[in-house]
Every structure is written in C-alpha cells, then in structure tokens.
Amino acid sequence: MSSPLPAAPQASKPGLRRLSAEAAIAALPELADILLDCIEGGASVGFMADFSRDEAEAYWRDVAAGVASGATLLLAAEQDGRLAGTVQLGLKQPPNQPHRADLKKLLVHRTARGLGFARLLLDAAEAEAGHAGKSLLVLDTATGSPAEAIYARLGWSPSGIIPNYALWPDGRFCDTTIFYKAL
C-alpha cells in the first residue's frame, strides 16, 4: 500500500507517496518514463544514453524487490495524477553503519522541474530516514550538475570530489561530489 505524505505548495495538485513494492510494479511505465527522461536530459544517474525502456523497467523491478525486502524506501511525487519524480533511501547498511542511509536516484521529470518537487522529495526522504532511526544521509552526484546545486542549496554538505568517478550518458567522464547531511 502507498501512504500519503505532505504536498508541495508550489505545484498544482501535487502530492507525495511512499510506494510499496506492488505500487512500484503498477507504476513501472511512469517510473521508466521518469528515468529515461532524466537520462535523455543528460543526467548522470548510472546509465548510458542507449538505456532502453526494457532495461528501465527491469531496473525498477529490482528497486521494487528492494522495497519488498525492506532494504529500500521509494518515494514518488505526483502532479495531476501522474508521477513527476522519485527518490530512494537505501536503508540496509553494514553492521557498523546502522545509523546511516544512502539517498539514491533523486529523479524529477524535466516537465516538472522548477515546481519544488526536488525539495518535496528530499524533505520527505529526510523525514522518513529520521523515522527509520537514521541520523546520517550520504549521496553522490555529478560535479557541476544542477543536482549538485540543489543539494548544496538544501543544506547538504560536500565532503569531497572524486575525479572521473562516473560517466555522463554520452560516455564522457564526470567528476562526482560526495554529500552528507546529519539529521
């Protein structure tokens, strides 16, 4: 089941829900649309430009399995009855890091950017992490990307840059900035 969370005041008819594994499977086409749109827009989110719809849906099936096992928490922002963005919390950590979670795949469809969905998703993820007993969040993002500016603006602290850590979807190297946030 999905549970409602607070809505973003900036968007028309926005909402936010925590997706169950079943809800994620039901939303596969929309989740794939968001992921593919972000890749097409040049976001370095772990996939290359030739990433297919079938691969995107397989990725989300794997995420749903993580949700079912309790290792992953998946939040989805909605506008006008359609998914506009998602974010994940990786809750399962090694025994010496029970206080930490990984923030993963903050994705907002390009048509929904600038409406407050990134903030809505991050605020909700931080609240959910706190409810799960986590006191530290960690993420990585492409250095110089719009996402890097969002995290800095929303109170995340950079801890360093790793040169040539990943690739942009077009195959060029990109540096990666590691961020953290104490809750």
State the Cα–Cα distance between residues 152 and 80, nearest whole angstrom: 29
35 pLDDT more than 50: yes
Where do the structural domains in the chain lie, given as residue ranges? 13-136
Identify the weakest region by mean pLDDT among 7-11, 141-145, 151-155: 7-11
Contact between 44 and 171 (Cβ < 8 Å): no
pLDDT mean across residues, the chain: 94
Mean pLDDT of 22-42: 98
Q: In the 8-state DSSP scheme, what is residue 112?
A: G
The pLDDT score that the predictor gives to residue 139 is 98
What CATH number has the domain spanning 13-136? 3.40.630.30
The pLDDT score that the predictor gives to residue 14 is 72
Mean pLDDT of 5-26: 76
- Sheet of strand 72-79: strand arrangement: 3-5, 14-19, 72-79, 82-90, 100-108, 136-142, 173-182, 157-167
The pLDDT score that the predictor gives to residue 12 is 52
The percent of residues in the chain predicted with pLDDT above 90, rounded, is: 91
List the helix and strand counts (H, then E) for the chain. Answer: 5, 8
Which carries the bigger pLDDT value, residue 49 or residue 8? 49
Mean pLDDT of 118-132: 97
Which run of H or of E encompasses 67?
A: helix 53-69
State the Cα–Cα distance between residues 24 and 152, nearest whole angstrom: 29
pTM value > 0.85: yes
Contact between 44 and 174 (Cβ < 8 Å): yes
Phi and psi at 35, nearest 5°, equal -60, -45
The 10s digit of each residue's pLDDT in 54-100 is: 999 999 999 999 999 999 999 999 999 999 999 999 999 999 999 99
Contact between 148 and 122 (Cβ < 8 Å): no
The pLDDT score that the predictor gives to residue 6 is 44
The pLDDT score that the predictor gives to residue 173 is 98
Contact between 49 and 172 (Cβ < 8 Å): no
